[in-house]
């Protein structure tokens, strides 16, 4: 764990922290090979790689309706209730994001301009497995797609060694409204959704988080399907002052660390006392966590940095562009106002990242590794297309005729200019 005053730490170490990532190039060749296999061999390749990477022999790639219904009916009713509460909150938040489906404005007499919103035809949701099951990700990816009006929403998730998908994930898929669920994960799942196979529907867009292999696969198939953004190992940056409680800050760092050995947890604070207390608490809490081995590995990527001012904390955060940003300061409005790059922002001592992971309603599928500088977290617009509209009368066209003709001829596009002239040379 990196610890100390920013003014005293080597610049190289701070740069390595901020410029984290870069693993995509390390797995590029492996990913390319798997993508090519699935493109050529289809379902045969899906079965081969599922046995190799998940240790599961599978026959039917699609999970049957009966299996989904059984998972839903045998899941503890209290858990179903909580899935439905979370799904309801996610639905409400994303419904609030929905833009007006069509609008017009009058630019000038005879010239109406407008916009039409249309949902994508098909979307593939990737729900990770492996070290843990993520029914919450099924809700986060499928629910907003359905709110947007996507007709076909499919879901891919890895099976366990027995070839079965985690029942709670299947129950979440039913609650969310997934149209099809496939027991396939990893690079092969991304390939199947991008190219299509005999069993898996080809989709227009793929969304959802994953490990470095999944992220690299998403980046490589963009000529076949659109993606949301790179979403790799999870991370949190916490801006805190002396008003924050060390145990709470430490708990939030540990919570992030238990996701993945490559997860990153960072505290930037103006208080040396808080920094010391958080370090002590992190080491103590790490000893009692259930996923101790993962947390121990992840904390090697962690940092507790002491800044000279709250402005320096903000500068570090904006340079880092975290997936999750927590603000635990007395004047949180001022800090929030100055934040420029963050996937999702949690304000106050009682807004830890897990509320957004599960139940507050905001989306937990977010850009990582600094990609929050140019990407937004998953939202309703990821599932929609925008078409511009122009409705123009002859009188309206007359007002811009000379401009269009002049610019078209200047660009050497005579037919463009003639397409305008002909409308005024004909008698109607």
Q: Which residues are catalytic?
A: 323-324
Q: Where are the alpha helices (DSSP H) in 299-349?
A: 310-320, 332-338
Coil, helix or strand for 204? Answer: coil
- The tokens describing 345, both together, are 């922002």
256: left (phi over 0), alpha (psi -120 to 50) or beta: alpha
Give the C-alpha separation, 137 to 140, whole Å: 5
- The tokens describing 383, both together, are 């599932």
Distances (CA, A) of 136 to 16, 87, 183: 31, 9, 17
Give the C-alpha separation, 9 to 153, whole Å: 48
Give the C-alpha separation, 237 to 246, whole Å: 15
- Give me the residue label for tokens 């994508």: 120
- The tokens describing 258, both together, are 């238990």
For residue 20, give every residue at least 6 positions away whose Cβ sits within 8 Å of its Cβ, in sequence order, or none: 235, 264, 301, 369, 370
Distances (CA, A) of 325 to 321, 322, 352, 379: 9, 6, 9, 17
């Amino acid at each position: 764990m990196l610890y100390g005053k920013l003014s005293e730490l080597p610049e190289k170490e701070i740069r390595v922290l901020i410029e984290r990532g870069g693993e995509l190039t390390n797995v590029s060749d492996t990913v390319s090979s798997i993508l090519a296999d699935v493109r050529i061999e289809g379902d045969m390749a899906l079965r081969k790689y599922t046995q190799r990477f998940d240790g599961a022999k599978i026959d039917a790639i699609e999970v049957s309706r009966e299996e989904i219904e059984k998972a839903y009916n045998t899941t503890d009713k209290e858990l179903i209730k909580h899935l439905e509460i979370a799904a309801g909150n996610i639905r409400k938040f994303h419904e609030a994001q929905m833009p007006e489906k069509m609008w017009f404005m009058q630019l000038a007499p005879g010239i109406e301009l407008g916009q039409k919103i249309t949902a994508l035809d098909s979307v593939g949701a990737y729900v990770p497995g492996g070290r843990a099951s993520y029914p919450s990700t099924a809700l986060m990816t499928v629910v907003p797609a359905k709110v947007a009006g996507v007709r076909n929403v499919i879901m891919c998730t890895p099976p366990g060694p027995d070839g079965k998908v985690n029942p709670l994930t299947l129950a979440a898929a039913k609650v969310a409204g997934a149209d099809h669920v496939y027991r396939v994960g990893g690079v092969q799942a991304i390939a199947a959704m991008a190219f299509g196979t005999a069993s898996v529907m080809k989709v227009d867009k793929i969304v959802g988080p994953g490990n470095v292999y999944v992220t690299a696969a998403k980046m490589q198939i963009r000529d076949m399907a659109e993606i949301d953004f790179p979403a790799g190992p999870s991370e949190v940056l916490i801006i805190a002052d002396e008003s924050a409680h060390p145990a709470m800050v430490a708990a939030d760092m540990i919570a992030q660390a238990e996701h993945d050995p490559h997860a990153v947890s960072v505290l930037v604070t103006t208080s040396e006392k808080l920094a010391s207390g958080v370090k002590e608490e992190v080491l103590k809490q790490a000893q009692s966590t259930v996923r101790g081995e993962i947390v121990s590995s992840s904390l090697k990527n962690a940092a507790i940095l002491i800044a000279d001012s709250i402005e320096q904390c903000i500068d570090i955060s904006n340079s880092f562009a975290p997936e999750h940003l927590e603000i635990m300061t007395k004047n949180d409005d001022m800090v929030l106002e100055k934040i420029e790059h963050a996937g999702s922002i949690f304000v106050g001592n009682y807004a830890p990242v897990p509320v957004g992971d599960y139940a507050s309603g905001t989306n937990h599928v977010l850009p990582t590794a600094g990609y929050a500088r140019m990407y937004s977290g998953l939202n309703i617009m990821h599932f929609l297309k925008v078409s511009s509209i122009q409705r123009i009368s002859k009188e309206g066209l007359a007002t811009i005729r000379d401009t269009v003709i002049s610019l078209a001829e200047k660009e050497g596009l005579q037919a463009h200019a003639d397409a305008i002239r002909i409308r005024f040379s004909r008698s109607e």
